[in-house]
Chain A
Amino acid sequence: MPPPILTGFPHRVVVGLAELAVSNNPSSILTTYALGSCIGVTIYDPVVRVGGLLHAMLPDSTIDNAKAQAHPGMFVDTGMAALLRAACQMRADKRRLRIYLAGGARIMDDQKLFNIGSRNLAAFAECLRQENLHVNAEQVGGQVNRTIGLSIETGRITLKVSGQTQEAVLC
């Protein structure tokens, strides 16, 4: 009896908190759930069809280098570096990357004391500046949880906001 073969079905890869993943498998859909004040970054090279997703929790790895080494995806700076490196190893070209950003939600904090979300967004902007890259679209801030997905076959980005039943296509 031949072994069962799974073809024609999208393969959903769930990227957890402080994780990142890169794929060139066209049947993969990279998804990360519930970003909160964390940021979710997708990168995609449409020529070689390589895409990646990062779910970073905190802006700056210097608070704990040991944890940054064990979990580079925990921090925006080390996470972005690892994401770009992994995608380029799969022959993605930085100049062709489409970059999308979601998350960075915050509580109602006029004093900006608990502003992890805003600091994550600022750290992300700094990473792009250093790499001379630009973000193509973003859905950030506010008080909502967001879930984001990237199709490796098409580069399509989907976004779902907590409390809403419908998933929206970001691009």
Chain B
Amino acid sequence: MLTIDALIRNMDSLPPFPRNLVALTQLLDQPDGDVDQVVALIQYDPALTAIVLRLCNSAYFGTASPASDLHEATTRLGFNGIFQLVVSLGASALLRPAQKGYGIEAGELWRHSVTAALIGKCIAQERNDNPSLVFTACLLHDIGKIVLSRSLEAQYDQVLAETKRCQSPMVVVEQSLLGFDHAEVGGRLLERWQFPPRLVEAVRCHHDPGAGGEHARLAAYAYLGNMLACFMGFGCGHQALAFKCRTEALELTGTIAEDIPRYMTNAFYALGDLQAWLEIHS
């Protein structure tokens, strides 16, 4: 029987999550993110520095006079701006390819993930929660799909038949065919990459936030970001909306169902920035 760890170990072709980005996520656990610490982490990576400078001076992020060095760029963008930019750079290489097992075409998972991240950030800002933490949890919530897609590819017809026959959530189909689901695998992958426990748990429980223990609130944000992205047409792959309603996501984030339409209209404006984010790549 295939185990999750064996599955992840076998993913030789999986690009590694850049080490300095993992270190960057550790800064989220500190009360006040410090721009100097961000600079210290990325300044010895010339390729990353060049990309950050290019993006900082691009039409979307840019100002009248271009930033000439990394410190100036990070000061302009602030901790949250630079953090979200750099973590998106790291995630884009992983999330852009097609995931055939799920019927996801190239670029679709990336678009879904960025949308969920922008929506989650929008709600977090209104709720006075850490926007970069929520952005990251939402951005990475489906990372397990890049591991499971290959396993499901060979069984894709079975996946389709099973979801049609049982009208089951996708995570249930994954569990019945493979013994585990993409949320669990995503959590394990982040754990192996030494992400902070709160992000590991948020990704692991994004379809069942109530199971997230002390990190249930962050998992609830990942659930809401995912759900609203799907509502707004940014879901992807076969049976994109085949997941359970989790009312606890509202209680955990201190929101009510009547707020959902308002979050969607606010997110509509936040998504005006979507194209700039989608173009982020290394």
Contacts and interface: CB of A to CB of B under 8 A. Distances in A.
A36 B230 contact: yes
B11 interface: no
B241 A107 contact: yes
A162 interface: yes
B243 A34 contact: no
Interface in B259-276: 260-262, 264-265, 268, 271
B233 A108 contact: no
The bracket for how many chain A residues form the interface is 20 to 34
A63 interface: yes
B79 interface: no
Contacts of A38: 231-233
B240 A57 contact: no
B257 to A, nearest CB: 5
Interface residues of B, number: 33
A18 to B, nearest CB: 6
B103 interface: yes
Nearest to A18: B268
A108 B242 contact: yes
Contacts of A18: 268
B236 A113 contact: no
Interface string B94-106: 0000000011100
A162 B264 contact: no
A108 to B, nearest CB: 5
**Interface secondary structure of A, over-half rule:** loop
Contacts of A111: 245, 247
Interface string B225-238: 00100111111111
Given A36-B241, A111-B245, A111-B247, A145 B235 contact: yes
Contact of B262 (A64, A71, A106, A164): A64
Given A57-B264, A58-B261, A74-B265, A108 B234 contact: no
B234 A34 contact: yes
A17 B103 CA distance: 23
A17 B268 CA distance: 8
Contacts of B245: 107-111, 113-114
A149 interface: no
Interface string B41-66: 00000000000000000000000000
Contact of B231 (A33, A36, A108, A142): A36
Interface in A56-92: 57-58, 60, 63-64, 67, 71, 74
Contacts of A144: 238-241
B244 interface: yes
A157 B226 CA distance: 30
Instruction: Specify which of A67, A113, A162 lies most central, judged by the most chain B CB atoms within 10 Å of its CB.
Output: A162
A163 B261 contact: no
A63 B265 contact: yes
A162 B241 CA distance: 11
A25 interface: no
A18 B264 CA distance: 11
B196 interface: no
A92 B18 CA distance: 57
A36 B232 contact: yes
19 contacts: A17-B233, A17-B268, A36-B230, A38-B232, A57-B232, A57-B268, A63-B261, A64-B265, A74-B265, A107-B244, A111-B245, A113-B247, A114-B227, A116-B261, A142-B241, A143-B241, A162-B103, A163-B104, A163-B237
Interface of A: 17-18, 33-38, 57-58, 60, 63-64, 67, 71, 74, 105-111, 113-114, 116-117, 142-145, 162-164
6 A-B pairs with the lowest CB-CB distances in the bound complex, closest first: A163-B238, A163-B103, A109-B245, A36-B233, A34-B233, A143-B241
